[in-house]
Amino acid sequence: MTGAELLIGGMVVLAVVMAVAKGAARRRRARAAAAVAELGTSPVSLLGRVLVSAGVIVGVQWLVITRYADNVTLLLMVLAVPALITAVAVVRLLTVTVVDPPHRRGVRR
């Protein structure tokens, strides 16, 4: 084998080792994120965030309606954007997704 062949072979081995290490790190991060998502939100914390967000939206809408009611474009934007965001959240909440368990090889249903 020549020096160039050894160098290329070493680079290939290094790339494979790095890809395996990156995959393992990605799996660890995914498991950690799943654990945080499972334990990280309490109903009180979620309720507080919802109330603060709703307060901000209502405050901005009130300000625009009382101060800038003659600007129809601004009025429509201030009323439409929160409605669209809410619609996305409600559709996600009401959308039913089915998660099938992984299939094992050789096992029929």
Rounded to two decimals, the pTM is: 0.47
Average pLDDT over residues 48-70: 89
Q: Which of 14, 17, 13, 36 is nearest to 25 (CA)?
A: 17
Give me 67's structure tokens.
């101060």
Rounded Cα gap, residues 28 and 40, in angstroms: 17
Average pLDDT, the chain: 82
Amino acid letter at 106? G
Predicted confidence at residue 66, as pLDDT, reads 92
What pLDDT does 41 receive? 60
Say whether pLDDT at 109 is over 60. Answer: no
User: Residue 48 gets which letter from DSSP?
Assistant: H
Helices 72-94 & 43-67 angle (0-180, nearest 10): 160
Is the confidence at residue 38, as pLDDT, over 80? Answer: no
Residues 61-73 as b or e (16 or more Cβ within 10 Å = b): eeebeeeeeeeee
Find the mean pLDDT for residues 45-71.
87
Inform me whether the pLDDT recorded for 108 exceeds 70: no
Instruction: Name the token pair of 57.
Output: 């939206």
Tens of pLDDT, residue by residue over 1-22, are 787 788 888 888 888 888 888 8
Q: Give the pLDDT mean for 46-64.
A: 87
